[in-house]
């Protein structure tokens, strides 16, 4: 992904100045700088600035994300900056963006995806299978917790919050024998060498949108869609659209273990998804594969997988039932 290069755009009316709103964590700043560099390649004459800001999600570190309001927690302040005209675009990890954008905002652009897998990180062990009885594994996600509890009942799963550097610090401090993180974040921050094992999509299916960058803009901004168009990656957009459709149909939130991941096999999109209980004892699993050429077909594939999960009784695993 960091390899991607863009040719200068031939846009008749290129941007003169663009401001990118970003969270201030090292990962968020890396992502904003990456988008800035891509925009500079497309529009060499444009002054591209980054406006760093702190969100509620960054401030609340003592409680599990599932308990404090989940998605949206990391995006609200950035949206206010767009509304106030202090910024033109906001860069997010797509995984952290709500399935339904708030009125007046669009998910305008999805960039080429990094490695979407979860990663096993440890200083003493090479893989999950090597961990002894009672070893403490840190993860902040109920999805990861559910798979771990189902497969490794002898391990102790403990919450792990904070930005990437904080989490790595807690591992190195000896609080955990191993931690599970998204590989994408580690690779972006140059921490790829700390990954001991990349977890396979089956059974460690990632969250919808994991590894992809999303760019949010105001629906009322007249030019921004065209200006950001070169940054869109269609194969990624179609894959994450299928994933996000599953999550949308099931009312996905941080409160329920929900996984959805789609990969390409030539012109066929293959999607795999599960909903489970946190203890891993109950789960519904569905997958589907079909030719996909456009958004409608991508969303139809995701919709079909969601219906399959619902037919299997997924609603009983959702704390609030199915969305209306």
Query: Which stretches of the chain bind ligand PBG, using CB under 6 A?
Result: 93, 95-96, 181-182, 184-185, 210-211
No. of H helices and E strands in the chain? 9, 13
Give the whole-angstrom CA distance, residue 239 versus residue 294: 10
Which residues, other chains included, contact 46 with Cβ-Cβ below 8 Å and sequence gap of 6+? 14, 15, 16, 17, 18, 39, 40
Cis peptide before 203 (omega within 30 of 0): yes
Nearer to ligand PBG, 58 or 297 (CB): 58
Nearer to ligand PBG, 95 or 272 (CB): 95
* Smallest distance, ligand PBG to C-beta of residue 9, A: 26
* Smallest distance, ligand PBG to C-beta of residue 105, A: 19
Antiparallel, parallel or unpaired: β 178-182 and 118-121 = antiparallel
Active site residues: 96
Antiparallel, parallel or unpaired: β 89-93 and 136-138 = unpaired
Q: How many of the other CB atoms lie within 10 Å of CB of 21?
A: 25
Give the whole-angstrom CA distance, residue 180 versus residue 136: 11
Q: What does residue 83 show for φ and ψ, rounded to 5 degrees?
A: -60, -40
* Smallest distance, ligand PBG to C-beta of residue 167, A: 8
* Smallest distance, ligand PBG to C-beta of residue 122, A: 15
* Smallest distance, ligand PBG to C-beta of residue 68, A: 13
What is the token pair recorded at 134? 């009672």
CA atoms within 13 A on the CB side of 259: 30
The angle, 0 to 180 degrees and rounded to 10, between the axes of the packed helices 164-172 and 26-42 is 140
């Amino acid at each position: 992904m960091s390899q991607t290069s863009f040719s200068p755009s031939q846009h008749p009316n290129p941007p003169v100045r663009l401001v990118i709103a970003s969270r201030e964590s090292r990962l968020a700043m890396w992502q904003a700088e990456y988008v800035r560099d891509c925009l500079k390649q497309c529009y060499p004459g444009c002054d591209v600035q980054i406006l760093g800001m702190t969100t509620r999600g960054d401030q609340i570190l003592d409680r599990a994300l599932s308990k404090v309001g989940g998605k949206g927690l990391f995006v609200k302040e950035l949206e206010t900056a767009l509304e106030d005209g202090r910024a033109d675009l906001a860069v997010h990890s797509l995984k952290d963006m709500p399935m339904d954008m708030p009125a007046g905002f669009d998910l305008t652009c999805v960039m080429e995806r990094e490695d979407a897998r979860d990663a096993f990180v440890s200083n003493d062990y090479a893989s999950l299978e090597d961990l002894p009885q009672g070893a403490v594994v840190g993860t902040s996600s109920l999805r990861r917790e559910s798979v771990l509890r189902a497969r490794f009942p002898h391990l102790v799963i403990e919450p792990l919050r904070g930005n990437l550097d904080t989490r790595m610090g807690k591992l190195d401090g000896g609080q955990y024998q191993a931690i599970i993180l998204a590989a994408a974040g580690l690779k972006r921050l140059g921490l790829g060498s700390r990954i001991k094992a990349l977890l396979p999509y089956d059974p460690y299916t990632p969250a919808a949108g994991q590894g992809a960058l999303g760019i949010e803009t105001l629906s009322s901004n007249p030019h921004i869609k065209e200006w950001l168009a070169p940054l869109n990656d269609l194969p990624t957009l179609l894959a994450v659209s299928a994933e996000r459709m599953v999550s949308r149909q099931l009312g996905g939130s941080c409160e329920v273990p929900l996984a959805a991941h789609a990969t390409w096999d030539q012109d066929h999109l293959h999607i795999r998804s599960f909903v489970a209980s946190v203890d891993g004892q109950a789960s519904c699993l569905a997958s589907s594969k079909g030719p996909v050429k456009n958004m409608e077909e991508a969303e139809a594939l995701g919709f079909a997988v969601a219906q399959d999960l619902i037919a299997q009784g997924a609603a009983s695993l959702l704390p609030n039932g199915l969305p209306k």
